[in-house]
A and B are shown apart, each in its own frame.
Chain A
Amino acid sequence: MSIRALRPAFMAAFLLCLGVFAMAQESEAETPAMEAPEESEPLPIDSEWDGPAPKLYSKGDKTFIINLGTILPLFFYSAEGKVMDNKLSIGGTGSLNYNYYFNSNMALGGEFGGSFSGTLGGNMLFMMPFGIKGTYHFIASPFEFPVSLMVGGVTQSYLGTDYFGLIVKPGAAAYWRFNPDWSFGLNSVWWWIPQWTSSATTTSYGNFLELTLSARYHF
């Protein structure tokens, strides 16, 4: 496997580390300014707010997400309805997301990423998807369960031959809110990639499952 092929994974790992490092720096910077309470008893404050509890998200909130993990080739099937031999092995994947919130539950954004998977014959399949992503959040603080759908394009490369086409990625994730700036979780996404050709025999539909660790920065 060439170093060039691993660039997306290295980049994602680098950004993930950068995010964690930045978060740690923030925590350290904040610690000296905080004063430990002298006693653990609650402060004698009565809230005069009698309206609804504030939502976790509101319009204008943004998140930046880094995903890194594995991609499992599930199955290919042809336009003739036959399941084709799946000769790919488990590979690596990573992606970067930007999301903009329109209300307390819905966000729209963009995503791009990359993946690599070895083949039975010792070759390699590379895929570089990108697209528009819509997300709806189910929230049970401190946990969040976003479901998403990305539609876009994917450049695929195998043995020096490229294929550029459609990709549809429905997915679901579970996040734990670590602090106001960061949340971490697990992400699972189905990749559906059609490869249409002029022949029904060679037209095929690839199905993959992405399982990634996810770090999300809120701003």
Chain B
Amino acid sequence: MQRSILTRTVRLALLLAVLFTAVACDQSPLFYSISNETKRKTAAVPGTPSRTVRMVTSGSIFVANGKLLKRTGSDWQGASRPDGGLVRDLAGIGDTLFALTVSESDLATKIWKSTDDAVSWGASAIQLDTAASGYDSFDSLFTAGPAGSEILFVGAHKSDSDYVILRYDAGASALVPEEDGMGAGGILTGAAYLDLTGEYFLSTESEGILRGTTLGSLTPETGTVDSSFILSGIISVDTDSTAGTDTLVAVGRGESLLLSKDGNPFTSHNKGYIFPGALAVYADGTMNQVLVGIQDGTTYGFMEIDLTALSDAADATAVTLNKVGGTSSSTGDYSQFAGSLGTEAVRSLAYYTIPASVDTATYGIVFASTVNEGLWSSTNRGNWNLES
């Protein structure tokens, strides 16, 4: 009896061993991933940074996390702020840097302009046109337009239910209304310009994507006005290297991805990821990807859309989001990414080629601004870590 139980137990243990061995083979290698982790550096830009902005002539890169910081070469240093307020958002057109500041005392917001790498700022903030009177609570800054003639678009509101999009043309004296009379869903979340048709596209949370060639008369695009989208960003991309940008990708917190090709109407598809709105094009001549910030349970960071595949995609349903990593990705090693930036919520992405005239050698760098975890980067498809 005793031997029988022992024998059965040993047999059961062996059976379990065989069973567990059999089910194990196609699972993700956790120990391997852990062995590829890297220690986080001390953040040069801690907190929740804004988008990065690069000046065309100097090559200086700016980011704001309350303070304004400037990257010269590979070093981050504090830059002068336009007033005593916290810098909430940045935008750049050519060599002009725009900064949205918030007063710590009365929460008043202002928009400032510098044309000399933030060495000096305008004597006064950019004013509101009388037609935009009262819309002095600024939320966000975006730029879009033909190369060399971009327009600054500003999301603003008068009250919690009265939103507006303002426009600032180069050389103009004041911010003028681009679209007004929008409700709470009228928060400006992105701007893009399609070279192929010469149209502007402004995405709002739930008032749809405003579209048109003539500023001042943009209209909501059919099929994009859906409160479930909760649109968070839009980007224009060149999928065929001819005639400039030809495709638009918009994303939303409602898990939808919207696609418009060659100026055709948008199609949408639920991709099963929350999209915080971070979008960038990574094109180094060999790897050509659209980087898309994602959130899925405990998985964060970003995924990629291959530009060639995007060119072939008939509609949003056919767009495939790929994990980063591999020979055609913006990031070489997925497991290192997964254990670093892949754990953080990304609010903006940007890719730049840094010329040897700015740093010691030419290289490509992707910046990722995270929520509460600082500014991250990856150089030449290498490991992700905090900018230090």
Contact = CB atoms under 8 A, between A and B. Distances in A.
Interface of A: 59, 76, 78, 84-88, 102-103, 108, 119-123, 125, 131-132, 134, 151-153, 156, 158-168, 193-199, 201-206
Given A108-B5, A108-B6, A164-B23, A158 B35 contact: no
Contacts of A134: 9
A121 B338 CA distance: 10
Contacts of A205: 31
Most chain A beta-carbon neighbours within 10 Å: one of B5, B16, B17, B33: B33
A163 B28 contact: yes
Contacts of B299: 159-160
Contact of A165 (B5, B13, B20, B298): B20
A201 B20 CA distance: 20
Contact of A195 (B6, B29, B342): B29
Interface stretch (B37-45, B224-232, B260-268): B37-45
Nearest to B30: A158
A120 B335 CA distance: 14
A152 B23 CA distance: 13
Given A132-B9, A159-B338, A103 B2 contact: yes
Interface string B1-34: 0100110010011101100110111111111111
Contact of A159 (B27, B40, B342): B342
Interface string B328-368: 00000000001110110000000000000000000000000
Nearest to A157: B30
B105 to A, nearest CB: 36
A156 B23 CA distance: 14
Contact of A202 (B13, B29, B298, B343): B29
14 contacts: A59-B2, A84-B31, A87-B34, A102-B6, A108-B6, A108-B9, A123-B37, A131-B13, A132-B13, A160-B298, A168-B17, A193-B31, A203-B29, A206-B31
Interface residues of B, number: 37
A108 B34 CA distance: 35
B37 A152 contact: no
A213 to B, nearest CB: 27
B27 A163 contact: yes
Contacts of B339: 119, 121, 123, 159
A164 B38 contact: no
Contacts of B148: none
A199 B35 CA distance: 16
B31 A120 contact: no
Contacts of B23: 164-165
B27 A152 contact: no
Given A102-B6, A123-B37, A123-B343, 16 more contacts: A102-B5, A120-B37, A134-B9, A153-B16, A153-B20, A159-B339, A160-B298, A162-B27, A163-B27, A166-B20, A193-B31, A196-B21, A197-B28, A197-B32, A199-B29, A201-B32
A192 to B, nearest CB: 12
Nearest to A203: B29
Nearest to A77: B31
Interface in B137-179: none
A195 B277 CA distance: 36
Contacts of A59: 2
